[in-house]
A = this chain, B = another copy of it.
Amino acid sequence: MNNLKDRVTIYEVAKASGVSLATVSRVINKQGNMTEATRKKVEDTIAKLGYKPSGLAQALATNRTTTIGVVIPSANYVYISSVLNGITEVAKEKGFNLSLFVTSHSKEDAVRMVEKVITSHVDGAIIFDDELNEEDYKKLNSYSVPAIVINNNVEGDKVGCITFGYEHKLAEILEKKIKTNDDQQYVFLHVHNCGRLLARTEKRFSSVCEANKVNYKIMNVDDSSSRTYHDFMKYFETHKKGYFVAYRDSIAAAILDAAIDSGLKVPEDVEVLSLIGTKYAKITRPSLSSMNVDMQDVGRRAMYMLIDLNKGELSTKTYRVESQYKKRGSTKE
């Protein structure tokens, strides 16, 4: 792996153009005044030698990496990719590099990734992970790495956050639905180990159902659409109706398709609501009613907040995004 042996250094550039290190450094940083002649001379030899400054050495000397650490549970979900995409957009615009740390939904990994973020010397971190708790963020802080936490309500000296409001909207939708006196069975699809967002929403679901004394249940499903599809093909052999709340499109779609493929009518018999809607909510028939948060915008905003935080200019450290309900074909209301 010793593949950097023959890197051209600033020293060689200096020698080749007959100036000192310092001068070359000034040229590549476009700072200080110098003769047009020497600048030209240096720039030419830089081009000739194909010199590229070592980001490592620069970072060490300046104590600044212009790198942001991004912690996510996985790259494999559309809503997470959207956040990531928003982050990359602003990062590019503002000239930051990105270091990616994936926790695979495991607490142990998450903690290890936080350690890595610290040793990575990043200028800041954006953390979109459900496993970490306040203590972990504080730790980041104690190593002076400013952070924006997505989907967890924490604030600190150098910690800001962006939270989503799904619960409130869900309660609203449910209550409206319940008021129709439609004799439905309300079902929340529980996915094991899928984080706080889902847990919070589930809790709210239960409390609304209980408060209104309606028939409800929590069902465990696998976090795989094809598995869920098969499970529900079986389920619909004996159950002919239900109002199902699923946490993302592909799970919701699996139920929708299973219902239809079992000869049930959607939304007349079976209704399905997708919690975290993406563009894929629109491609099913009927299309999926869903709750929407513009995740790409969340990513963008996280970056902007982080930059402000670093400058000490972040006045409001908590930003809350309320989800929008998009009623489509999979629900009556």
Contacts and interface: CB of A to CB of B under 8 A. Distances in A.
Contact of A84 (B54, B75, B146): B75
Interface in A34-59: 50, 52-57, 59
A1 interface: yes
Q: Which of A2, A56, A85, A257 has the most CB of B within 10 A?
A: A56
A56 B59 contact: yes
A159 interface: no
A226 interface: yes
A99 B102 contact: no
Nearest to A254: B283
A299 to B, nearest CB: 9
Contacts of A283: 225, 249-250, 253-254, 257, 280, 283-284
A279 B225 contact: yes
Given A54-B119, A100-B100, A283-B280, A81 B75 contact: yes
Interface residues of A, number: 72
B4 A144 contact: yes
A7 interface: yes
A60 interface: yes
A64 B311 CA distance: 31
B310 A3 contact: yes
Contacts of A97: 99, 101, 116, 120
- Copies of this polypeptide in the complex: 2
A283 B229 CA distance: 10
A144 B3 contact: yes
A69 B113 CA distance: 18
A1 B310 contact: yes
Interface in A107-126: 109, 115-116, 118-121, 123-124
A145 interface: yes
B76 A85 contact: yes
Contacts of A229: 282
A100 B102 contact: no
Nearest to A299: B75
A330 interface: no
A135 interface: no
B282 A284 contact: no
A133 B35 CA distance: 37
A119 B63 contact: no
B115 A88 contact: no
23 contacts: A3-B144, A3-B310, A5-B144, A7-B144, A50-B143, A52-B118, A55-B119, A55-B120, A55-B121, A56-B60, A57-B60, A60-B60, A76-B81, A76-B82, A92-B109, A97-B99, A98-B99, A98-B100, A225-B282, A257-B283, A260-B285, A280-B283, A283-B283
Would you list the 4 A-B pairs with minimal beta carbon distance, nearest first?
A253-B283, A88-B102, A75-B85, A3-B144
